A and B are shown apart, each in its own frame.
Chain A
Amino acid sequence: MKPFCEPLIEVLTAPEKMADLPMATWDLLLRQARQAGLLSRLAVLAEAYGLTPSLPTAIRRHFSGAATAAARQRQAVAWEARKLDQALSREGIPAVLLKGAAYVMADLPPAQGRLFADIDILVPKAAVDRTESTLMLHGWVSSHHSAYDQRYYRRWMHELPPMTHIRRKSQLDVHHNLLPETARLRTHPDLVIAASQPIAGFQSLRVPGLEDLVLHSATHLFHEGEWGHALRDLVDLDALLRHGMSQSDWWDGLLRRGIELGLAGPLGLALRYSAKLLHTPVPGELFAAIAPPGWTGIKLIQDALFLRGFASAHHSCHRPGNSLATFALYVRSHALRMPLYLLLPHLLNKAWRGVFPESEKTSK
């Protein structure tokens, strides 16, 4: 494969190279890492490899600042999880943390130097209403106020409209499924909840099993269409996959679980691009088991699209046709989300409100 998003990918796969980089390379590396949300990750890697003292002064300062900001966010996520547990445990509602917050509370490798935008939890569908009213009593309020948004989330999505804590301003997404209700792919959130593990010192909050964390992260990455963070999410996946390798039967178990949850498709994509870009040591036979050899043209088109998706992290990574590809990926994420007869009216509504925001009516 042609060099991809250099020097960022090169340094992520071989952090020791940071020991000896020309300043021009540092310039580009810092820019790519910052826009991809990976600057603090590089800082943590440099520290882990014992490279920090020998870094150029300007770089050391950027790293110390970025690492401090990430450490602070990690602390804030842990505190937020504590407050959430206090609120939910009074009602006896079990809730499973997803993504970043789960990495932090399970103390998994991707939590190192990670930045966080919001906290995601998964609750049984039957408990969604009770969860929402409990959270509202404890200061979380819904941030999407238009009647259309409320209806859109509640009828078709796999989550409530995002909630914000009124004082701490933290963002919370309450999910009852891993994918929208309208998505083509059907999965089994009840199995994820059933396999989740308690967190020491917490009553309500739990973390998914390691396989389920991989599967959810992969599903989120290839279905939600947030390509600006895609490289960061792939770095999370690579770290989770490598961490799992210390377990016996890891790869086969992961595949079995993927099939069980109906998420073998996104798992296959995650393994493919994690191995391709970040050199995750995925066994070759796993690829064959997950995706039987088919028409290679499909793979070429997939690569053309997804690599451009990952390249959207920074303009220096862009390839010819990048904006067309990200548009195609945006369309794809929506097509996976809902059937066309729901999607078209939704996009028209979104476009209309983009042009005439005053037409938005607040729900009473």
Chain B
Amino acid sequence: MRLSDLSLKDLSSRLHSGLQLATGPFIFHVTSHLPDIAQGLAKLYGEFPLVEGSFSDFHVRVDALGGLRRLYHPQAQFWHDGYTPFKPLPRDQAFAMLEWGMNWCVASHAHHYLMLHAAVLERNGHALIMPGDPGAGKSTLTAALMLGGWRLLSDEIALIDRDDGLLYGLARPVSLKNASIDIIRAHTAEAVLGEAARDTHKGTVAHLRPTSQSLENIGAPAHPRWIVFPRWRAGAAAQLTPHSKAAAFLHLASHAFNYSLLGPLGFQRAAALMDACDCWDFEYSQLADALRVFRQLQA
């Protein structure tokens, strides 16, 4: 069963007692009484499978906070099984908070995987890994590549299984920030975006619905093939230039969620990743040009 098989009314009532949502290797048990959580899930998670099992990896909840404050400054809180990793946020950022909370659950607990801070996309079984500093245009490029036919594995967390070294996907919505939102809207009419949350710590944030193709093959792992460091620069012609493997290794290790926590295993997995991948810098200004260059990447 998929989430879109439920009417919005059924979805809301299921969310009151908790709904089991499968995102790649993880099952989230999501509880909420907020209508915007139900609407956000209906819009962005429609093709995600619902699970009717008795086990969930993470039990999360987003709800409004009570108290007098709700009258003049309503707030939402995120709970991971009773634990609150964040301070409350304004009530209208509830859906973004659920997304951040779900990311937090994976990044803080899933140490079975080497977790890199990077977007991952796949074509013909080969994975493209894109680390990127904030503002480098990583999310925009990820969104455009996904809408252009690449399969999305993740826009934030690259999950590398410690046992087989392959990349596993979550296929969760892509988080777009500020100008990226309009750029992606203008890029293609097929982009389905959720309600924008304004004035968050990242500015305005809206989430992009993953493509059907990304959901259909969600369980299929991808073989690491390319590591690309994107950088958007006004007026730049789209082009790939070689990036040193040693520098790429250091960048990935220092931006990983759990590289040092994994100890020798982290080093071995990261080193195997470097061996398997070509490393590039990529500068661009126009998405259409960028997509053309990526089509030329040879497997």
Contact = CB atoms under 8 A, between A and B. Distances in A.
Contacts of B260: 72
Interface in B105-151: 109-113
A66 B113 CA distance: 11
A72 B82 contact: no
B57 A58 contact: yes
Given A27-B54, A35-B81, A35-B83, A68 B109 contact: no
A27 B56 CA distance: 6
Contact of B111 (A23, A27, A66, A315): A66
B82 A68 contact: no
Contacts, number: 53
Interface size class on chain B is 20 to 34
Contacts of A65: 109-113
Nearest to A59: B55
A66 B54 CA distance: 21
Contacts of A66: 111
B269 to A, nearest CB: 12
A26 B56 CA distance: 9
Interface of A is mostly: helix
A315 B82 contact: yes
Interface string B162-186: 1000000000000000000000000
A27 B82 contact: no
A260 to B, nearest CB: 41
Which of B25, B109, B111, B263: most chain A Cβ within 10 A?
A: B111
A68 B263 contact: yes
B236 interface: no
Contact of B261 (A27, A35, A69, A315): A69
B66 interface: no
Interface of B is mostly: loop
Contacts of B261: 68-69, 72
B262 interface: yes
Interface in A1-59: 22-24, 26-27, 31, 34-35, 56, 58
Contacts of B59: 31
A347 B263 CA distance: 44
A353 interface: no
Interface in B197-235: none
A61 B81 CA distance: 19
Nearest to B26: A58
A315 B112 CA distance: 26
Given A31-B81, A69-B111, A75 B263 contact: yes
A314 B57 contact: no
B67 interface: no
B112 A62 contact: yes
Nearest to A66: B111
Given A35-B82, A64-B162, A23 B112 contact: no
Considering the complex of A and B, which 3 residue pairs feature the smallest CB-CB distances, nearest first? Answer: A65-B111, A24-B54, A61-B112
Interface of B: 25, 27, 53-57, 59, 81-83, 109-113, 162, 260-263, 265
6 contacts: A31-B81, A56-B55, A58-B57, A61-B112, A64-B112, A65-B111
Given A34-B81, A72-B260, 4 more contacts: A62-B112, A65-B109, A65-B113, A72-B261
